[in-house]
């Protein structure tokens, strides 16, 4: 398992996407009552937070996703999407690249099916290193299965 963590500015959502952003947002699907919207090479994670900083942790796995207790989370949801490029990155609600540990890719290169389990707490978290309030916590479990 590899772990990444940082604080990201959000305006109702953030993304997991590769670098082919031109048409990816047009492929996003929306299903009422869910918070994960998959598309081709992209996943939108809709938050219940209108705006503010959220703490995002990413844990990547070489094998299938682990079983996870939902007791400490307000919600848990899973989705998958296909990518031709791989090298998914966490991006802000404006599709900006993140800083710190989340600045680089969190998946391997190449065509794949990316499985994501998102956990969230919509409770105030410890402040950012600059003292700015953090309004929610997200944990993304990610597993990538290569396809040819």
**What CATH number does the domain containing 57 carry?**
2.60.34
For range 81-109, the mean pLDDT: 95
| Cβ-based neighbours of 23, under 8 Å, separated by 6 or more | none
**Nearest residue to 76 via CA among 134, 8, 137:** 137
Provide the domain count of the chain. 1
Please tell me the distance from the alpha carbon of residue 18 to that of residue 15, in angstroms, as a whole number.
10
| pLDDT value at residue 78 | 96
Question: pLDDT at residue 111 above 80?
Answer: yes
> Domain residues for 58?
2-146
pLDDT tens digits along 10-29: 999 999 999 888 789 999 99
What are the C-alpha distances in Å from 84 to residues 40, 88, 109, 112, 142?
8, 10, 9, 7, 16
| pLDDT value at residue 102 | 97
**Nearest residue to 25 via CA among 117, 111, 94:** 94
Phi-psi region of 135 (alpha: psi -120 to 50; beta: other; left: phi over 0): alpha
């Amino acid at each position: 398992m590899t772990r990444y963590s940082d604080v990201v500015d959000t305006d109702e959502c953030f993304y997991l996407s590769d670098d082919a952003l031109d048409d990816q947002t047009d492929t996003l699907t929306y299903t009422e009552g869910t918070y994960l919207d998959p598309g081709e090479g992209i996943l939108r994670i809709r938050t219940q937070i209108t705006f503010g900083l959220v703490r995002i942790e990413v844990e990547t796995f070489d094998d299938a996703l682990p079983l996870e207790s939902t007791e400490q989370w307000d919600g848990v949801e899973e989705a998958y999407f296909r990518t031709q490029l791989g090298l998914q990155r966490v991006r802000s609600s404006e599709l900006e690249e993140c800083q710190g540990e989340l600045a680089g890719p969190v998946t391997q290169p190449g065509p794949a099916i990316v499985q994501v389990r998102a956990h969230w707490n919509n409770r105030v978290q410890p402040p950012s290193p600059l003292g700015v309030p953090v309004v929610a916590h997200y944990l993304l479990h990610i597993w990538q299965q290569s396809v040819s």
